[in-house]
Amino acid sequence: MYQNLIIINLLVFIIEIFDRQFIYLFGFIPEYLFIEPWRLVTSIFLHANFFHIFLNMFVLYNIGPLIERRIGSIEFLKLYLISGIVGNILFGLVAYSGIIPTNTIGIGASGAIAGLLGAAFLFYPYLNILFLFIIPMPMYVFFFFYILIEFAGIFTMNYTGIGSAAHLGGVIAGYFYSKYLYDKYW
């Protein structure tokens, strides 16, 4: 399943290269939440630039197989979509709180990818990863820093353009959905 998600994301990105209007038609815009709710899902497959899609697909390629083997393809897809949707909902709540404008466009698989990190924290807390591609640390340490960075990032989203609220919502949703699966099956 993770390979299919990579392919879909890449195909959509190719479309975006030729038609930037795609972002405005399918990106998540909080003020459209109740009139165009499908944007909660469609925005998960859009990316701003090559670096954005590269980072998301890099993590999906590296963490995806571990999580998919653990929970199966159907639950993996549910985890991915739920995390992305919850990430967008938190992004919308932050917009309606006044931190960012409600017409801000949110795009990217980052919330869904963050959900995979939440699952990895639960299932593989001692997995060694490279923070910033250079600093080795176990997942449980990375998870702590990730939560802190994304929480702080909510208050700078106007300046950075990074959807920290979507990341935070995704990682929390990913953790709790994985915890639900863990409690149910293990």
- In whole angstroms, how far apart are CA 130 and each of 79, 111, 119, 138, 139? 23, 20, 17, 9, 9
Q: Degrees (nearest 5) of the Cα angle 121, 11, 68?
A: 25
Q: What is the DSSP letter of 43?
A: G
What's phi and psi for 138, nearest 5 deg?
A: -70, 155
- Active-site choice (83, 110, 164, 178): 110
The question of whether 52 is a catalytic residue gets the answer no
The question of whether 110 is a catalytic residue gets the answer yes
- Active-site choice (43, 47, 83, 167): 167
Token digits for 29?
């815009």
Residues tagged active-site: 110, 167
